Chain A
Amino acid sequence: MATPTIPAPRAEYDRHKTTRSQFELFAWLFMRLSGVVLVILIFGHLFVNLWSGSGVHQLDFGFVGGKWANPFWQIWDLVMLWLAMLHGTNGMRTIISDYTEKPGTRVALQLTLYIASGIVVVLGTLVVFTFNPCPTGADPSLLASFCKA
Chain B
Amino acid sequence: MSADTATKETAEPASKVDIPDHLGGGAGEIPSFDCTFLIARFNPEEDSEPHWEEYKVTMHGTDRVLDALHKIKWEMDGSLSFRRSCAHGVCGSDAMRINGRNRLACKTLLKDLDTNKTITVEAIKGLPLEKDLIVDMDPFFQSYREIMPFLITSGHEPTRERLQSAEDRERFDDTTKCILCASCTTSCPVFWTDGQYFGPASIVNAHRFIFDSRDQGGDLRLEVLNDKEGVWRCRTTFNCTEACPRGIQITKAIAEVKQALLERAF
Interface residues of A (CB under 8 A from B): 13, 15-16, 18-25, 27-29, 97-99
Size category of the binding interface on chain B: 10 to 19
A22 x B232 contact (CB < 8 A):
no
Choice from A13, A18, A21, A24 contacting B145 with Cβ under 8 Å = A13
**10 cross-chain CB contacts under 8 A:** A15-B146, A18-B224, A18-B227, A19-B227, A20-B223, A24-B230, A25-B232, A25-B261, A25-B262, A99-B193
Nearest CB in chain B: distance from A82 CB, A: 22
Question: CA separation between A20 and B264, bound complex, in Å?
Answer: 13
Chain A residues near B226 (CB-CB < 8 A): 18, 22, 24-25
Select from chain B the residue with minimum beta-carbon distance to A99: B193
B265 touches A18 (CB 8 A): no
**In contact, B232 and A27 (Cβ under 8 angstroms):** yes
- Across the interface, do A24 and B146 meet the contact criterion of CB distance under 8 Å? no
How far does the Cβ of B178 sit from chain A's closest Cβ, in whole Å?
Answer: 21
The answer, among B193, B224, B262, for a CB contact under 8 Å with A29, is B262
Provide the bound-state CA to CA distance between A19 and B226, in Å: 9
Closest approach, in angstroms, between the C-beta of A97 and any C-beta of chain B? 6
Cβ-defined partner of B190 (8 Å) among A15, A23, A25, A98: A98
Asked if B258 CB lies within 8 Å of chain A CBs, one says: yes
* Interface: B194 (CB within 8 A): yes
The 4 A-B pairs with the shortest beta carbon distances in the complex, nearest first, are A24-B232, A98-B193, A28-B232, A18-B223
In the complex, per-residue mask of B230-260: 1 if CB is within 8 Å of any chain A CB, else 0: 1011000000000000000000000000100
Across the interface, name the chain A residue whose C-beta is closest to B193.
Answer: A98
C-alpha spacing A82/B257, complex, angstroms = 30
Q: By the criterion CB–CB under 8 Å, are A16 and B190 in contact?
A: no
Contacts of A28 in B (CB 8 A): 232, 258
Q: Is B56 in the interface zone, CB < 8 Å from A?
A: no
B171 at the interface (CB under 8 A from A): no
Q: Is B51 an interface position by the 8 A CB rule?
A: no
Known: A15-B146, A16-B224, A18-B224. A25 touches B194 (CB 8 A): no
Contact with A along B212-235 (1 / 0, CB 8 A): 000000000001101111101100
In the bound complex, CA of A3 to CA of B1 (Å): 65
Instruction: Note all chain B residues with C-beta closer than 8 A to A19.
Output: 227-228
Query: Which residues does chain A contribute within 8 Å of B145, judged by CB atoms?
Result: 13, 15
